[in-house]
Structure 1
Amino acid sequence: MEFRDLAVRHPVADDHPSVLRVLDRWWGGFEGSTGSVQRALLLPRLFFQHFADSSFIAERDGELVGFLVGFLSQSRHDESYVHFVGVSPEEQRGGLGRYLYGLFFDYSRGHGRSVVRAITSAANSGSYEFHTRMGFDVEPSPAEFEGRPVQPDYDGPGLDRVSFVRRI
């Protein structure tokens, strides 16, 4: 898949407001105002300041069309972690998410990592389907939500998550 008309770069702190502005539209208001607050809280400016080398911004004609925020684990030296990824609705199903993950996999391998981890909310079926299509395995868990294995209270009370792992 080629993305010749796409400009991909590492984020800078000034990208933070632009990313926050698209979250509600890109997620289609998923989980209402609670989801909006959770998404914003998951992406504080510090990710654009301190994890820029391992993260990516994709733009077409100067407009944000995708991003991936990831980092190398400092505690697990063979692992890296995709913290948050987004692709504009107009670009979804066109390979951009896969492309951004590919860049992150290459970056991770280049830094001696062989495992990539990610999570998603229990209710985000689209993310679940994307990750499983990308070759991620769902980690075993003691509970299910709509047939998807979830880690109960993973991010705090009532914040169940699906946990993914992929060897690269």
Structure 2
Amino acid sequence: MILRHVREFDYVPVISMIDDWRGGRHMADMLPKLFFQHFQDTSFVAERDDQIIGFLIGFVSQTYPNQAYIHFIGVHSEYRKVGIEKRLYE
């Protein structure tokens, strides 16, 4: 597994999978493209065999710079409970 910073071009693959990863629950509206454009330094993607298997979108508070906010985390259902969420948070 490879962890890297999110890039703008990750938006389409993530947004096309997120509803399926959440059991068909409509979540795509909660994840606008601006997060992939403006929070790349504080957001991450987990890849395996060149496929996105997880991601975390977050940012540092402008008001309290020693605090961060996790907006969204998603992991492919086949890869849950193997520690990907923990690695993304770390």
Secondary structure in 1 matching 2:79: coil
Give the AA of the match of 2:41. D
Higher relative contact order (CA 8 A, sep 6+): 2
Give the AA of the match of 1:54. T
1:18 aligns with 2:13: yes
Contact 2:43 2:57 in 1 (8 A): yes
- In the TM superposition, residue 25 of structure 1 has moved relative to its aligned partner by 1.0
Cα deviation code 1:14-52 (max 9, x no counterpart): 11010001111100113xxxxx1xx22221111111100
CA distance in 1 between partners of 2:34 and 2:17 (Å): 18
- In the TM superposition, residue 53 of structure 1 has moved relative to its aligned partner by 0.3
Stretches of structure 2 lacking an aligned partner (at least 5 in a row): none
Kindly, what percent of the aligned residue pairs are identical? 44
User: In the alignment, which residue of structure 1 is the partner of 2:56?
Assistant: 68
Provide TM-score, normalisation by structure 1. 0.52
Q: Max radius of gyration: which structure?
A: 1
Superposed, which structure 2 residues align to 1:1-168 within 5 Å?
6-30=1-25, 36=26, 39-102=27-90
Secondary structure in 2 matching 1:90: helix
CA distance in 2 between partners of 1:42 and 1:25 (Å): 14
Length, aligned pairs only: 90
Stretches of structure 1 lacking an aligned partner (at least 5 in a row): 1-5, 31-35, 103-168
